[in-house]
A and B are shown apart, each in its own frame.
Chain A
Amino acid sequence: MRLIFANRAWNMKRSPDSSEEGASGVAKRDGAVDSPPRSANLRYMGRRSIPIRNSNAGSWREHLLSELDKLEQLPAGTDNFSPHRPRSEVLNFARQIADSLKREDLLLPLLAAGSDGSLQIKWQKDSRELSFFISPAGAEFVRVSSSGEIEEGPLREPAQANELIAWMLAAA
């Protein structure tokens, strides 16, 4: 199954290996790990308790696009010990996310490439985390709440990315 980008549509199909979905399209995995107390979570994850404001509105988008350009320069490869250049459809999908998100007041996301042609875009705000994992097989989101609960699900369309960003930015 592959990402399809005809007419910039978000026609996504899920990998057969993807996790099970609930009725809402979100697979809850609470209880998979012990949730550390919030203070401990902040400490060991190295998170800030007060987010640094992005003073240059819109710069997160420039940062994201610039980082994607850097990932495009990574060497291609197939070993599973190191990052490799993401597939072109994966990079294009990530750029569509950048185009689609409406909020300008986001912090800078972390971008990194996997060994399998995938990439991760990750935002953190206070003790919340939101990641988009994009691979040739499809795109999924993972969000981690302030209490440490982990949820994952398919990323089906741009509007969903906006909803997830809104969740992350909502007051804890």
Chain B
Amino acid sequence: MTGAVSGSSLDDPRIGKGEIVWRLIPSHWYRADPNDPNSPRQVAEIAFSGDVSVLRQKLAPEALVDSVYNGRFAEFGILELSADDLRNRGFVFEHEHDPEWGTDTHFLLRRAGVDGVTKQAKFQRLNQTQKVILARIANAKPLLREPK
């Protein structure tokens, strides 16, 4: 895509090859077709708007997900994503420390772009096409855990 750069210069290597990352999915983002309430629920593209937090599976076991922030995420669903697959599709990871999750656990899913003024590589929020791609990935297999 125009304006994109190689993700290798920005991508955070702390997420290694073969790793799985989790995106937490509240019920609002996991919905049936309103024309057919009995249809299978699907992850909506808007689940990947704004800053898209992901957690490294090996550092954030389900028990931690259920307990952080006073149990706020205990009823959230869990979407498993392959870091390798995401990188192959052009996504990059930006580390964002959140002490609640522990060291090197919390990252943001980004795209690599170029600053219009400095021409330096920089992280950017996902574009609409990338949201569609992520929703496709999310709906290609069952969630690890469905939201309540």
Contacts and interface: CB of A to CB of B under 8 A. Distances in A.
Given A46-B40, A46-B42, A113-B28, A133 B49 contact: yes
Given A48-B36, A63-B34, A131 B133 contact: no
Contacts, number: 124
A49 interface: no
Interface in A32-83: 32-33, 44-48, 51-52, 54, 63, 74, 80-83
Candidate in B28, B50, B73, B128 with the most chain A CB atoms within 10 angstroms: B128
Interface stretch (A4-12, A92-100, A119-127, A157-165): A119-127
Interface of A is mostly: loop
Contacts of B133: 32-33, 150
Interface string A105-139: 00111101111101110101000010101010000
A45 B139 contact: yes
Interface residues of A, number: 47
B89 interface: yes
Given A46-B139, A81-B26, A81-B76, A17 B124 contact: yes
B34 A109 contact: yes
Contact of A140 (B34, B116, B128): B128
Contacts of B29: 83, 112
A33 B128 contact: no
Interface in B63-110: 73, 76, 89-90, 108
B59 interface: no
A142 interface: yes
B45 A83 contact: no
B127 interface: yes
Contacts of A116: 49-51
Interface string B107-140: 0100001001000000011011101110010011
Interface string B47-59: 1011111000000
A46 to B, nearest CB: 4
B47 to A, nearest CB: 8
A72 to B, nearest CB: 14
B144 interface: no
A104 to B, nearest CB: 15
A144 interface: yes
B139 A80 contact: no
Contacts of B39: 46, 48
Given A33-B136, A118-B49, A122-B45, A110 B3 contact: no
Interface of B: 1-3, 24, 26, 28-29, 31, 33-36, 39-40, 42, 44-47, 49-53, 73, 76, 89-90, 108, 113, 116, 124-125, 127-129, 131-133, 136, 139-140
